[in-house]
Amino acid sequence: MEDKRIEYSKRRTVWLRNYQRARGRALVRLANNYPDQYRDILEEERAKDEAEGKAWLDIHGRTSLGAGLAGHTPPKPTEDKSKQAFNNDKSEGNLEGEG
């Protein structure tokens, strides 16, 4: 049983690395081809992360300074968690076929 988990982990790691490399290259190409649109979308996404309390504040991944501190906007739910998980699974692609 443990061997299956290790093998799956290895395949998943290889797939994720390859996916992230290809995705990064595609993003660079899109940014070069459409710099104005890329900049606009990037700023929208940064603002969205900050508004939802998802932007990191430090290297440890903290997203808030603590309860009641000025300048922090509490996170707002954007969609049902089960729906959100379903959407994340669909976007990851076929793990068995890639890697």
List the domain boundaries for the chain: 1-33, 40-64
- Stretch among 41-45, 54-58, 92-96 having the lowest mean pLDDT: 92-96
Average pLDDT of span 91-95: 48
The four Cα atoms 56, 62, 63, 69 give a dihedral, to 10 degrees, of: -130
| Token pair in block for residue 98 | 């890639």
Model's pTM, two decimal places? Answer: 0.49
Q: What is the DSSP letter of 65?
A: S
CA distance 8 to 13: 8
CA distance 30 to 33: 5
Q: pLDDT tens digits for 72-84?
A: 555 565 555 545 4
Average pLDDT of span 27-47: 96
| Token pair in block for residue 79 | 């969609």
Q: How many Cβ atoms from other residues are within 10 Å of residue 87's Cβ?
A: 10
